[in-house]
Chains A and B, each alone.
Chain A
Amino acid sequence: MAGRNTGFQPISSGATNLLFVAPAMILFGLFVLWPLGSSVYYAFTSWSGYTKPEWVGLDNFRRAIFHDPVHIASYLHVTLYILGTLVLEVSFGLVMAVVLNSDRAGFSIMRGMFFSPMVLSMTAAGVLWAFVLDYRLGLLNSVLRGVGLDDWAQPWLSQPATALIAIMFVSGWRFSGFYMVIFFAALRRIPRSIYEAATLDGATPIKQFFTITLPLLRQQMLTCVLLAVTGGFAGFDLFFTMTNGGPFDATQVPATWIIRQGFDNNQLGYATAMTVILAVVVLIVAVVYLRVTERGNHVRY
């Protein structure tokens, strides 16, 4: 996706030009590439962080893949979470972009409000929603009791059956504005005359959405799905704030389990092996996704 120009014509060449990239590359090398490289070594060791790492071969990987049911379950949870976000973030964002696409007074404010959760920290969002979903005084249960649906009131975050779903909804609340904005920008570039012609031909708004809007937003859809999937695998903040993997590991995702094993249980070698697995999984998913969708057009308006 690198938008690089083909006709690269430098205004100058020579090794001294390296000075312009050196500060950035040194920081990047020291705090991104070096840890990345050394994680490949630590992954094959037993290491508590205080002792010297001790080479154990493939033991960590064997344990992560065959003897750690929570680790395997964390990938199931994160997959469900990603599927949930595709509906509650990407699809919902798309629908809202269409709904809020108007020049009438008030719509700009509504778009602004819809987007506003994006600027809050995940911790603030998480703590706020922990209260909204609280069993005793939570907003959601108050609403349910208020309309006479007392039986529907649930301890949303503290029972395994609902905790993951609750987090998906909070994630949708936080991120759907982001996808709305991306789709909205693209919607604006579709010429209005197409819709006017379709209306004259008698096409309903619903039909126009599926025959005109969706096909023209294909490129944005692909980008958004990629962002949702790669971002979803790395999800940490919301899970850590709201449930920290609980109740009974029902919301344990790879990132929270890695941090738990590494820093709470002092098994840094084992945790590093799991990060290597996570990196490989994310890279494979991203590459496969890009390969599969690459056949599509690269049309820009």
Chain B
Amino acid sequence: MSATDRRSGTEWLQLTLGGAIVCAMFYPAVWMVLSAFKTNREIFKHPFALPADWKWSNFAEAWDKGGLGGMYLNSLIVTAAAVTLTVCLATAAAFAFSRLEFPGRRWLYRLLLVGLLLPPPVVAIPLFAILRDLGLLNTLTALILAGTAWSLSLTIFILQGYFNSIRPDMEEAAMLEGANIWQIFRDISVPMVWPSMLTLAIVNTISIWNELMFALLFTVDDDKRTLPVGLIRFFGRYSTDYAMVFAALTITTLPILALYFLLQRHVIAGLSATAID
């Protein structure tokens, strides 16, 4: 990168314009965190000021009244289970679609592509009936299985692209050595695409952690709620207690933001990989 040492006029423009826009867009998040420490009256009277008195008690109140602990746990269970299932099943399937021949390979793959174009609202209602018939309504299992099923198409599609970009020389060599398919998959193919699996785990974590519609429709009880649904209910119930809603918002978003800034490179690489192809 051979840039001159002095900043040119264009670069100053980039810096000021970019900086101003980014700060303006990031400011609501700062405002949210600051307001979470204020009293309701303070939020109204001094919206831009720092809190006169940092009220940590808002967080304890929101945590208890909103039952945020339970919702966090539910979100963690659903996300961990669904992401693990998705990435494992998708890796096996992508391996098969890229490396193996079997009856129905082409049309099974085409069926899978249907899931890429379909938006979830399209099947929400029949899926509700199916889950009810299976006795899974109002369980976390329903969210895990439905979430996994809906993540598979994209994950398989991208992983298959990775497999296709690597020549199967190693696998063929192992085949000649007399290894069976399962050994090849486990010892050669999985280590080969391991970084991509992690990237896709991150991408799926974000989408399943944030999933709203299924959680809204398929769970009823308070103790089955995940964070996105819980936050809406919380907002509906305490919408006039601004400080507490801000505290709840902060509790639910700040860890995600912190995690994102920690893993920024991987998150961005992963999310853009889902769009490039």
A residues adjacent to B (C-beta < 8 A): 1-5, 9-18, 20-21, 23-25, 27-28, 30-36, 38-39, 42, 49, 96, 99-104, 106-107, 110, 112-124, 127-132, 136-137, 139, 142, 146, 173, 178, 181-182, 185, 192, 205, 223-224, 227, 230-231, 233-234, 236-237, 240-241, 254-255, 258-259, 262-263, 268, 271-272, 275-276, 278-279, 282-283, 286
- Chain A contacts of B232 at CB under 8 A? 123, 127, 240-241
Given A32-B150, A110-B22, A286-B117, CB of A279 within 8 Å of CB of B122 = yes
Given A20-B95, A119-B206, A123-B232, CB of A259 within 8 Å of CB of B121 = yes
Given A127-B245, A131-B246, A237-B212, CB of A10 within 8 Å of CB of B101 = yes
- Contact among B25, B119, B245 for A117, CB-based, below 8 A: B25
Given A17-B181, A110-B18, A182-B272, CB of A116 within 8 Å of CB of B261 = yes
Contacting pair B93 A24 (CB below 8 A)? yes
Contacting pair B18 A100 (CB below 8 A)? yes
- Chain B contacts of A1 at CB under 8 A? 277
Asked if B219 lies at the interface with its beta carbon under 8 angstroms from chain A, I say: no
Given A28-B115, A119-B267, A129-B28, CB of A15 within 8 Å of CB of B103 = yes
Asked if B57 lies at the interface with its beta carbon under 8 angstroms from chain A, I say: no
Q: List 20 A-B contacts (CB under 8 A).
A: A20-B185, A24-B152, A25-B111, A27-B145, A96-B18, A100-B22, A112-B264, A117-B25, A121-B227, A121-B231, A123-B229, A124-B231, A131-B35, A131-B242, A182-B272, A230-B119, A259-B124, A275-B121, A276-B122, A279-B118
Contacting pair A30 B253 (CB below 8 A)? no
Contacting pair B99 A10 (CB below 8 A)? yes
CA distance A9 to B67 in the complex (A): 55
B residues adjacent to A (C-beta < 8 A): 1, 3, 7, 10-11, 14-15, 17-19, 21-22, 25-29, 31-32, 35, 43-44, 47-48, 85, 89-90, 92-93, 95-97, 99-104, 108, 111-115, 117-130, 145-146, 148-150, 152-153, 156-157, 161, 164, 168, 171-172, 175, 181, 184-185, 206, 209-210, 212-213, 216-217, 227-229, 231-232, 235, 242, 245-246, 249, 252-253, 256-257, 260-261, 264, 267-268, 271-272, 275-277
- Chain B contacts of A237 at CB under 8 A? 212-213, 228
- Contact among B7, B97, B164, B271 for A118, CB-based, below 8 A: B271
Contacting pair B89 A11 (CB below 8 A)? no
- Chain A contacts of B267 at CB under 8 A? 119
For A28, A39, A178, which residue has the most chain B Cβ atoms within 10 angstroms? A28
- Contact among A23, A103, A234 for B1, CB-based, below 8 A: A103
Given A32-B118, A102-B11, A178-B271, CB of A25 within 8 Å of CB of B93 = yes
CB distance from A79 to the nearest CB of B (A): 16
- Chain B contacts of A124 at CB under 8 A? 228, 231, 249, 252-253
CA distance A61 to B245 in the complex (A): 42
- Chain A contacts of B89 at CB under 8 A? 23-24, 27
CB distance from A31 to the nearest CB of B (A): 4
Given A30-B130, A132-B28, CB of A21 within 8 Å of CB of B268 = no
Contacting pair A3 B14 (CB below 8 A)? no
Contacting pair A39 B95 (CB below 8 A)? no
Chain A's interface: helix, strand, loop or mixed, by majority?
helix
CA distance A259 to B216 in the complex (A): 10
CB distance from B245 to the nearest CB of A (A): 7
Given A17-B102, A118-B271, A131-B245, CB of A230 within 8 Å of CB of B120 = no
Contacting pair B102 A15 (CB below 8 A)? yes
Nearest chain A residue, comparing its CB with the CB of B229 = A123
Contacting pair B15 A104 (CB below 8 A)? yes
Contacting pair A116 B113 (CB below 8 A)? no
Report the number of A-B residue pairs with Cβ-Cβ less than 8 Å.
310
Contacting pair B271 A181 (CB below 8 A)? yes
CB distance from B207 to the nearest CB of A (A): 10
- Chain B contacts of A258 at CB under 8 A? 121, 124-125
Contacting pair A10 B100 (CB below 8 A)? yes
- Chain A contacts of B216 at CB under 8 A? 240
CA distance A150 to B264 in the complex (A): 40
- Contact among A20, A34, A42 for B92, CB-based, below 8 A: A20
CB distance from A104 to the nearest CB of B (A): 7
Contacting pair B117 A230 (CB below 8 A)? yes
Given A116-B260, A236-B121, CB of A106 within 8 Å of CB of B103 = no
CB distance from B141 to the nearest CB of A (A): 12
Nearest chain A residue, comparing its CB with the CB of B110 = A2
For B29, B118, B242, B267, which residue has the most chain A Cβ atoms within 10 angstroms? B118
CA distance A240 to B261 in the complex (A): 28
Contacting pair B277 A32 (CB below 8 A)? no
CA distance A172 to B157 in the complex (A): 27
Contacting pair A35 B123 (CB below 8 A)? yes
CB distance from B79 to the nearest CB of A (A): 12
CA distance A258 to B217 in the complex (A): 12
- Contact among B108, B125, B212 for A272, CB-based, below 8 A: B125
